Structure 1
């Protein structure tokens, strides 16, 4: 099915700014991954999840379920162990909730552009509480003083991008 709105790629000037990147993801955190997944599936229609686990920089473990709905990927994160508080604090602040909004995810076209965005965020004095380099992928999250959530920036090589395209899409 065709999208109702044509999407324009950012121009050269916008591509140097944090919100000028390719927005592709909405991410939530949870203390109960299976319950959160069921809620988003049964009540909101997400399906065909892919689960991934990875070590956190401080030694904990991040487990995430990913599902596509049209042009957006939805991510549900559950983190445990050392370093998990960065992810879990938002949901723990809402004890009656299964999910808490955590970040918007943006793809960055090159590692050089990613480095520029990271330097720009740091030069503004904004917190960069998450920074990870893995094979084929570099990720950082920034917290601006103007938004109540994080912004995530991901630069990937072609192999990693191919893996991102692989999850089934609703």
Structure 2
């Protein structure tokens, strides 16, 4: 996807991001209720653990936060330990020109970006745009380069 072919801020959808109170109980419940049995588990940062699974062409990300997590997650933590709550839709951005276009469109739309940055020596770039007023959830945009392009290679398919 290049910037001149990018039609909307919904291009590149690949992920539904959920928040859970208890990652073990939530993934067990997803296995029992929906047959999603294979997850990759890892500490995503000092303040969160995550489980990822592919279901067809869509990745599920289940996040359990710890103390120090950004405020944008707190309101989505469900009371029930086995439940999950939709927090964000994830969109992959294919190249540098499209990344610039996404940034421009977010700014032009006047969307707040409560989280924006880069990790892995700038190889994983991300933006959380506050699209809650329109969609009920955040929109996460991710642009991967270098070694970051393989971060999902070990996520199992269900």
Structure 2 matches for 1:1-170, cutoff 5 A? 15-20=6-11, 22-55=12-45, 61-92=47-78, 95-96=79-80, 98-135=83-120, 136-144=123-131, 145-170=133-158
Secondary structure of the structure 2 residue equivalent to 1:127: coil
Gaps of at least 5 residues in structure 2 are: none
Query: Contact 2:52 / 2:62 at 8 angstroms: preserved in 1?
Result: yes
Q: How much does 1:45 deviate?
A: 0.9
Query: Contact 1:31 / 1:88 at 8 angstroms: preserved in 2?
Result: no
Q: How much does 1:111 deviate?
A: 3.1
TM-score by length of 2: 0.85
Secondary structure of the structure 2 residue equivalent to 1:40: helix
Q: How much does 1:115 deviate?
A: 3.0
Distance in structure 1 (CA, Å) of the matches to 2:3 and 2:116: 25
Distance in structure 1 (CA, Å) of the matches to 2:110 and 2:44: 28
Query: Contact 1:62 / 1:84 at 8 angstroms: preserved in 2?
Result: no
Distance in structure 1 (CA, Å) of the matches to 2:127 and 2:152: 17
RMSD of equivalent CA atoms: 2.1
Query: Contact 1:36 / 1:99 at 8 angstroms: preserved in 2?
Result: yes
Q: How much does 1:11 deviate?
A: 8.2
Question: Per the alignment, do residues 161 and 119 of structure 1 end up closer, same or farther by CA in structure 2, a change over 3 Å counting?
Answer: same
Q: How much does 1:19 deviate?
A: 1.0
Gaps of at least 5 residues in structure 1 are: 1-9
Higher RCO (C-alpha 8 Å, min separation 6): 2
Question: Per the alignment, do residues 111 and 38 of structure 1 end up closer, same or farther by CA in structure 2, a change over 3 Å counting?
Answer: same
Question: Per the alignment, do residues 84 and 33 of structure 1 end up closer, same or farther by CA in structure 2, a change over 3 Å counting?
Answer: farther
TM-score by length of 1: 0.80
